[in-house]
Amino acid sequence: MIPELGHLSVILALALSIAGAVFGLGGAHIGLGRWMQAATSATYGQMVFVALGFLVLVNAFVTDDFSVAYVAHNSNSLLPWQYKVSALWGAHEGSLLLWTLIMTLWMSAVALRGAALPPGILARVLGVMGLLNGGFLSFLLLTSNPFERLLPLAPADGADLNPLLQDFGLIVHPPMLYTGYVGFSVAFAFAVAGLLSGRLDSAWARWSRPWTNIAWAFLTLGIALGSWWAYYELGWGGWWFWDPVENASFMPWLAATALIHSLAVAEKRGAFRTWTLLLALSAFSLSLLGAFIVRSGVLTSVHAFAVDPTRGLYILGFLAVVVGGSLTLFALRASAAAADVRYGLFSREASLLVNNLLLVVAMAVVLLGTLYPLAYEALTGGDKISIGPPWFNRFFVPLMLAAAVALGVGPFLGWKRSGFTRLRRRLAWCFGASVALAVLVALLLEGLRSWGAAAAVGLGLWILCTHAVDVGRRLRLKGASPPLSYWGMTLAHIGFAVSLLGIALTHELSVEKDIRMSVGESATHGEVTFRFDGVVDAPGPNYRAQRGLFAIEDGERRFGLTPEKRRYFASGSVMTEAAIDAGFFKDIYVSLGEPLANGDWAVRVYVKPFVRWIWFGAVLMALGGTLAVADKRYRRLRRRVESRSSAIGAPSVPA
């Protein structure tokens, strides 16, 4: 009975989403205040009913209700409770329910903050989001009902959650990622509302910015978590694979990174408006495209756990309507946004233009690399081709290095135009210092031979140096201290540099050995010695493990590492659990391969310097993006509505 209530409440949420779309868009069109208010109520209603449905499913998991097919397929009575909850988003149907829950939470957040917006804009934004949510909810109800029952043949126990997903990283990775994906629907809705109402001025950009930043911060964390998870859980120590599903999350990230930068120009200078609109539509469209790629199974990958033709076809249709519709609107209406704003070659606008071009080209590279195999197969009628990491790296790395060059200068150029001489004096020694340091690092650290990596190290230092110089200069200036948005930007850029350093150094300095070890045998990589002391049996809650015992000597430090091979009872599948000694400067990584004759084991012993920096940098970027939102000028939104002045905090140019 309870699962049916969950099903019913999702149906009610769908009805409310349609009502919200009709009242919001219709009310704004004909200017009916009552209808527009109804759109807000419908928004909260959707949130309440989706949350009810979600709680019902959580309850089914926690109480082991295996008469619910989705629970039976993805849980087991022996599963630890925290995984019973996270098993909810362990497969397609529940993920989709989580997705709609997050969607309604974003909508409610917009509605709560909506008092600062003109009613017509708020109603349109909520209407568009209601329309999108209605699309997701009907997708759920038509093709992916998580409340479906296995009656009268309810199984006695469930098939268990995929052991790969029984892990902390996987509890938090999908919600973060979805919060990012779905969060871009806010910028999307603002863009559509702007196009519909014709209001595309600086205020429009200012409304969109905080939402975009926060969604971007979540997506950044989500991607970093996924990468971290792949590193410790998949057992071969890689952190990025250019897997189609990784690419699916990376494309919206690149578009959104371009978007938050071009929104800055649109807000402060009124330039790039058409372009910004397009990016706002693209970021969310790419999120949907990512969902299509993952859910339809058109591209096979380790992630594609739900392969179903009806689902793929539905998403494709949904994409056609949402993206096709919004781009048509863009083509017809965006010319109203064009503004003639001039700026010099050495200006912040120009450098942000370079940033945008590089990011968008990088995004196009990823899109091309992801879809090309599919296009090839379609055109040749079945021949397969695969595009691997070397291809992506060849195009992507130079683009990011070019972006890093600009990133060291761009933020310190003034709007409109900037004197090149003064800047050159300020940054010259940074340039010299980072080149010198890069060469020094290349000479000092044996193994750093590739020019690309030395360049990346130099550029990371270049960004750190120029930002430090500018922070010093801003702090010495008399008068007001820099606004929070400045600190947010600086933090995010430092995060980028930290990730860049981590990627380059890990890539060049890692030692990765797959070796055969017999009990008592030692292996040495540089300062680190691994001694293999055999394998013992170890019981777990829903698995049995074989636990390898390793004694590690790292310079002065001595400690043990115990990687495991786990055999899960319910599914019978075997998982590798790597053991990692995580450090700020290096990770020591051991994972068990296969048992060999005479009690020997195939073992992976890695030393990975600076690998944490990759994710640490991502955390800094996310923090920076969030910090910028706390800036005073967004908090003043509410008061400004009445006065309707368009300039606060920084001079802005009327449209």
Q: Which residues bind another protein (CB under 8 A)?
A: 69, 72-73, 150, 153, 155-157, 159, 274-275, 278, 281-282, 285, 289, 292, 296-299, 307, 309, 312-313, 316, 319-320, 323-324, 327-328, 330-332, 334-335, 338, 367, 371, 374-375, 377-378, 382, 568, 570-574
Nearest distance, CB of residue 269 and another protein, angstroms = 17
* Per-residue tokens: 604: 């992976």
**Closer to another protein at the Cβ: 414 or 540?**
540
Nearest distance, CB of residue 308 and another protein, angstroms = 8
**Closer to another protein at the Cβ: 274 or 393?**
274
**Closer to another protein at the Cβ: 156 or 597?**
156
Nearest distance, CB of residue 180 and another protein, angstroms = 21
**Closer to another protein at the Cβ: 5 or 375?**
375
Nearest distance, CB of residue 158 and another protein, angstroms = 9
Count of residues for the chain?
A: 655
Residue 592, φ and ψ in degrees, nearest 5: -85, 130
**Closer to another protein at the Cβ: 116 or 336?**
336
HSE-CB of 72 using CA atoms within 13 angstroms:
14
Q: How many helices (H) and strands (E) does the chain have?
A: 20, 10
Partner residues linked to 567 by β-bridges: 544, 574
Nearest distance, CB of residue 64 and another protein, angstroms = 14
Nearest distance, CB of residue 192 and another protein, angstroms = 14
Residue 493 CA from chain centroid, whole number: 17
What three-state secondary structure class fits 582? coil
Is-contact 134 10, C-beta < 8 A?
Answer: no
Nearest distance, CB of residue 597 and another protein, angstroms = 18
What three-state secondary structure class fits 408? coil
**Closer to another protein at the Cβ: 153 or 475?**
153
Nearest distance, CB of residue 639 and another protein, angstroms = 35
User: Cα angle vertex 22, ends 57, 278, to 5°?
Assistant: 90
Nearest distance, CB of residue 372 and another protein, angstroms = 9
Helix (H) or strand (E) segment spanning residue 428:
helix 420-444
**Closer to another protein at the Cβ: 63 or 310?**
310
Q: What is the DSSP string of 185-235?
A: HHHHHHHHHHHHHT--SHHHHHHHHHHHHHHHHHHHHHHHHHHHHHHHHSS
**Closer to another protein at the Cβ: 112 or 574?**
574
CB atoms near residue 444 (< 10 Å): 9
Q: How far apart are the first and last CA of the chain?
A: 58
Nearest distance, CB of residue 594 and another protein, angstroms = 14
**Closer to another protein at the Cβ: 531 or 567?**
567
Helix (H) or strand (E) segment spanning residue 51:
helix 33-62
Q: Residue 467: which of 500, 505, 508 has the closest Cα? A: 500
**Closer to another protein at the Cβ: 125 or 334?**
334
**Closer to another protein at the Cβ: 176 or 293?**
293
What dihedral do alpha carbons 408, 412, 414, 420 form, nearest 10°?
-70
What three-state secondary structure class fits 566? strand
Is-contact 528 553, C-beta < 8 A?
Answer: yes
**Closer to another protein at the Cβ: 379 or 480?**
379
Nearest distance, CB of residue 384 and another protein, angstroms = 9
Q: Read off the DSSP letter of residue 335.
A: G
Q: Residue 200: which of 329, 336, 326, 327 has the closest Cα? A: 336
Nearest distance, CB of residue 274 and another protein, angstroms = 5
Partner residues linked to 554 by β-bridges: 528, 557
How far, in Å, CA of 367 to CA of 373, rounded? Answer: 11
* Per-residue tokens: 458: 């130099």
**Closer to another protein at the Cβ: 266 or 456?**
266
Determine how β-strand 586-595 pairs with β-strand 601-609: antiparallel
Nearest distance, CB of residue 328 and another protein, angstroms = 6
Nearest distance, CB of residue 102 and another protein, angstroms = 24
| 3-state SS track over 302-314 | CCCCCCCHHHHHH
**Closer to another protein at the Cβ: 133 or 282?**
282
Q: 119-149 as b/e, with b when 16 or more CB fall inside 10 Å? A: bbbbbbbbbbbbbbbbbbbbbbbebbbbbeb
